[in-house]
Amino acid sequence: MSNLFAVVFSHSDVAILIKGSTVKAEYYWWKREIKTYQSIRDWLRNHGFESWRKYHTYYLHAVYKRRERLRHYYRTAIRFLARTMHEMGVDEVFVGYPYLVNQNNGNEYNANVWWFNKIIKWLSEVLQEYGIKLNVVNEYGTSRQCSICNAEHENGRVKRGLYICELTGIRINADINAARNIAKRVGYETPTPRKILSFIVTTNGIKPITPKEGVTPETPKNETRPTRAGKEVIQQRLS
């Protein structure tokens, strides 16, 4: 299951994951709809049927709906993150950006599903409402580097969502590992996360993913706002 956002803090051992599986499911559902209307439209037009115009309208509507549905998911997740960070006393955010990802490792996920430029623009605008500064950091190499021992393990990410330090054997969520490396890149050390709060973005807002124990996690809050608020790092995932 892909993560839309992975978040670590310099002043807390709590990390946040927002799952992006609903975004991918929505994209592929509308992709099938668009393909169906397009094929029917083209067949009718090639055989001289005027009804192709009706299916062209369906096709355009499906393209519009896919774009708007994805935009809704992203904006919902961004608003939730901004509000959560404000409540935790964060005053500055560092977000990883995959420069040249389309040229070096382009695929359908990072070209069509994940809207990196738009997401960062929207994130900047919403964070500004809460008085939080946004900085963009080149995340190249942060997925290979180990946040435990600082070495680069080519085979550290053994499977989706899991990173294992080859020297210590410590296991860590792969996206959290990358987010911690982004923090180090800008000069901040983040505590090893002892608690990961997982959420999923839905059409009705952000919902917590209930642990097996049956306890619904709550967004962590500080008792008092620190004089110099902590820094937060966000890792956007590619797959």
- ∠ Cα 121 231 72 (to 5°): 30
Mean pLDDT score of the chain, rounded to an integer? Answer: 83
What confidence tens digit (pLDDT) does each residue in 102-135 have?
445 556 655 566 788 899 999 999 999 999 999 9
What confidence tens digit (pLDDT) does each residue in 30-58 have?
999 999 999 999 999 999 999 999 999 99
What confidence tens digit (pLDDT) does each residue in 218-233 have?
544 444 444 344 456 6
**How confident is the model at residue 49, as a pLDDT?**
96
**How confident is the model at residue 20, as a pLDDT?**
86
Backbone Cα Rg of the chain:
20
**How confident is the model at residue 168, as a pLDDT?**
87
Residues 6+ apart with CB under 8 A from 205: 76, 80
pLDDT at 237 over 90: no
Stretch (H or E) spanning 117: helix 116-129
